[in-house]
């Protein structure tokens, strides 16, 4: 362990974790505190937050990052060329943002935030691959993953708590200028990070997997090409549709902008059908055809040209993992996707409005929010993660998954209480002695109520997050784990991110309290899905002759 912590790879993994968490925090969380200070309405913030969809759809361009080299930068290394480029781009974006006025340049700010989110999602994809590439017997994948999370959480403190403290003493442009310079310094340091070149064995394995697509009994290349085209068009249409809505909303006066609730209720379901349901149906049909020998090759076929190679790579990267997943789960894929799509809804849909709620609605100071949310709150989140990990050994994965879904939904009631004045938070804080502790440390009852609510929500979120990671890992296949996990983890952000525009409009019209009640009720969809999936896995366990479904997922 001591040797691993001194390893250069471990040090750079810590730095990369920080580089991943910093732009995510600054562009998808802290920026809303700046917007709140400039009196931007919540509906605009909700529409603006749709840039978070970039992280939800990052699996779409991830195969290209493995195949394409950047001109003049290949000598940096297969992974580093993308990491360094993305980080320099992020540093530049933050510096440009520091020169903007959110109230007067929301369109330009949206464009820069979208570019930053794309660069951040890109570096995340490549750094995940870098972590696997450089892992060895000393700097193991487990140690590197843990260090990465430590770096990410540190970035949340710097980009959240420290940023609020600096802003309270200077101004927001200064905050983003400092963070931009910090990101550029990280990019410069990344140039000297160790790089593990693709091994001959790895390249040979990839080539063999591509050749297998041309074997007798595999689907005809034309069929695979049509399937890839249809799925690509649907995903492209969804991205363009959301992009056009964002542009129209952010470039129009509040009175002339399109209705967010109407967009979500009308186009939201269609977007989910286009990006999730239809691709799953196509995967199911393809798997059925392959098993029955329909539209398959009778003899081995040779790869003909560039287009055929593109189809093979695209199909293997995006469609084949999906067909394997659907073929293995069968009809149970409906249950699994319902669970995945709904599980983190209450977290993802609410996150963009936390700072406006704390700073605008409740009138806490930036220092108080920094202490409660990014200081004490991160500690509570880590406790929740550790609690979830400990509970796995005692009650099993599915039980923890159920508890996580239930507590994450119910934690919205803590904020509903704050919206009404925090009567119950005050009672809990007072009778547990927490208020006395906070006052002894220099705070007051009002701060104690906020810290109590944030602690409850973050412990629940940490527990739910640990449970979801374990669950997603258990339902992916080893041969396709990277793509399947990236796809499933991306889907957990989809519904919540799409719903932010409508949520912002609802807050503007009805206030916070009814919205927290609504999100609590919607969180029960995930609770119900967990129960059904728990029953399904229990039945599978009994059929296999084992006692607990958690043992093998």
**Residue-level pLDDT at 68:** 76
**Residue-level pLDDT at 553:** 39
| Domains of the chain by start residue, with CATH | 1-198 (1.20.1250.20), 201-229+261-328 (no CATH), 331-553 (1.20.1250.20)
Most distant CA atoms of the chain, gap in Å = 79
**Residue-level pLDDT at 279:** 87
**Residue-level pLDDT at 110:** 84
DSSP per-residue string spanning 299-319:
S-----SHHHHHHHHHIIIII
Three-state secondary-structure class, residue 99: coil
| Cα gap 396→550, rounded to integer Å | 6
Three-state secondary-structure class, residue 330: coil
Q: For the beta carbon of residue 79, count every other beta carbon within 10 angstroms.
A: 25
Contact between residue 351 and residue 28 where contact means Cβ atoms under 8 Å apart:
yes
Three-state secondary-structure class, residue 219: strand
Q: Bridge partners of 296? A: 219
Q: Mind listing the pLDDT tens digit of every residue in the chain (553 residues)? A: 444 456 788 889 889 989 999 999 999 888 988 988 887 877 778 777 778 778 877 777 776 777 678 888 878 887 889 999 999 999 999 999 999 988 888 888 888 998 999 999 899 888 877 877 777 777 776 677 767 877 887 888 899 888 988 998 899 999 999 999 999 999 999 999 887 655 444 454 556 666 777 777 788 888 888 998 998 899 888 878 877 877 777 666 666 767 766 777 778 788 888 888 888 889 889 888 988 888 887 777 666 666 677 777 778 777 887 888 888 888 888 898 889 888 888 877 776 678 788 888 888 888 888 888 767 877 887 788 778 777 877 888 889 899 999 999 999 999 999 999 888 999 999 988 999 988 888 888 889 999 999 888 888 888 888 788 778 877 877 666 656 776 777 777 777 777 777 777 788 888 889 989 998 998 899 999 999 999 988 888 776 654 444 434 3
Three-state secondary-structure class, residue 296: strand
**Residue-level pLDDT at 551:** 39
pLDDT digits 0-9 by tens, 66-113: 767 888 887 888 788 999 999 999 999 999 999 998 888 888 888 899
**Residue-level pLDDT at 304:** 61
Nearest in space to 474 (alpha carbons), one of 534, 390, 526: 534
Helix orientation angle between 260-272 and 481-498, rounded to the nearest 10 degrees: 160
Length of the chain: 553
**Residue-level pLDDT at 194:** 86
**Residue-level pLDDT at 298:** 77
Contact between residue 503 and residue 46 where contact means Cβ atoms under 8 Å apart:
yes
**Residue-level pLDDT at 6:** 60
| Cα gap 223→319, rounded to integer Å | 12
DSSP per-residue string spanning 493-514:
HHHHHHTHHHHHHHHHHH-HHH
For 295: left if phi > 0, alpha if psi spans -120 to 50, otherwise beta; the answer is: left
Q: For the beta carbon of residue 67, count every other beta carbon within 10 angstroms.
A: 12
What is this structure's pTM? 0.70
């Amino acid at each position: 362990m001591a040797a691993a912590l001194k390893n250069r790879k471990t040090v750079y993994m810590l730095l990369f974790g920080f580089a991943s968490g910093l732009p995510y925090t600054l562009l998808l969380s802290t920026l809303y505190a700046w917007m709140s200070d400039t009196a931007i309405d919540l509906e605009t913030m909700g529409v603006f937050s749709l840039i978070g969809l970039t992280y939800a759809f990052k699996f779409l361009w991830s195969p290209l990052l493995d195949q394409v080299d950047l001109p003049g930068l290949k000598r940096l290394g297969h992974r580093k060329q993308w990491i360094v480029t993305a980080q320099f781009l992020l540093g530049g974006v933050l510096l440009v943002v520091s020169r903007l006025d959110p109230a007067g340049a929301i369109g330009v700010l949206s464009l820069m935030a979208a570019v930053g989110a794309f660069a951040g999602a890109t570096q995340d994809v490549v750094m995940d691959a870098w972590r696997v590439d450089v892992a060895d017997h000393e700097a193991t994948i487990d140690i590197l993953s843990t260090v990465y999370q430590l770096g990410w959480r540190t970035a949340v403190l710097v980009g959240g708590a420290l940023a609020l403290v600096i802003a309270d003493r200077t101004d927001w442009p200064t905050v983003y200028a400092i963070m931009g310079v910090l990101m550029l310094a990280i990019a410069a340091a990344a140039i000297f990070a160790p790089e593990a070149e693709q091994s001959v064995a790895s390249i040979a394995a990839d080539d063999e997997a591509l050749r297998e697509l041309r074997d007798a009994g595999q689907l005809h290349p034309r069929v695979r090409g049509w399937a890839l085209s249809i799925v690509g068009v649907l995903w492209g249409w969804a991205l363009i549709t959301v992009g056009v809505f964002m542009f129209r909303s952010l470039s129009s006066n509040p009175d002339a902008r399109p209705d967010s609730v109407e967009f979500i209720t009308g186009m939201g379901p269609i977007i989910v059908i286009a990006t999730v349901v239809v691709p799953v149906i196509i995967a199911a049909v393809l798997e059925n055809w392959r098993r029955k020998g329909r539209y398959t090759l009778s003899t081995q076929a040779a790869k003909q040209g560039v287009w055929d190679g593109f189809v093979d790579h695209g199909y293997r990267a995006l469609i084949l993992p999906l067909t394997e997943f659907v073929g293995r789960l069968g009809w149970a894929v409906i249950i699994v996707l319902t669970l995945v799509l709904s599980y983190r809804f209450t977290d993802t849909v609410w996150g963009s409005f936390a700072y406006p709620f704390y700073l605008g609605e409740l009138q806490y100071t930036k220092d108080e929010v920094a202490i409660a949310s990014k200081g004490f709150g991160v500690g509570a989140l880590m406790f929740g993660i550790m609690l979830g990990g400990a509970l796995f050994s005692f009650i099993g994965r599915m039980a923890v998954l159920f508890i996580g879904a239930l507590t994450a939904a119910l934690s919205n009631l803590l904020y509903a209480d704050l919206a009404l004045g925090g009567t119950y938070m005050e009672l809990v804080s007072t009778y547990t002695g927490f208020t006395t502790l906070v006052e002894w440390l220099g705070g007051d009852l009002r701060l104690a109520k906020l810290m109590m609510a944030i602690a409850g929500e973050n412990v629940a979120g940490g527990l739910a997050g640990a449970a979801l990671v374990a669950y997603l890992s258990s339902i992916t296949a080893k041969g396709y784990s990277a793509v399947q996990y990236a796809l499933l983890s991306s889907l957990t952000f989809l519904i919540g991110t799409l719903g932010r525009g409508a949520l912002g409009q609802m807050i503007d019209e009805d206030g916070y309290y009814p919205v927290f009640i609504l999100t609590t009720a919607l969180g029960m969809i995930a609770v119900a899905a967990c129960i059904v999936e728990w029953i399904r896995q229990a039945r599978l366990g009994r059929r296999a002759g084992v006692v607990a479904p958690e043992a093998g997922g």
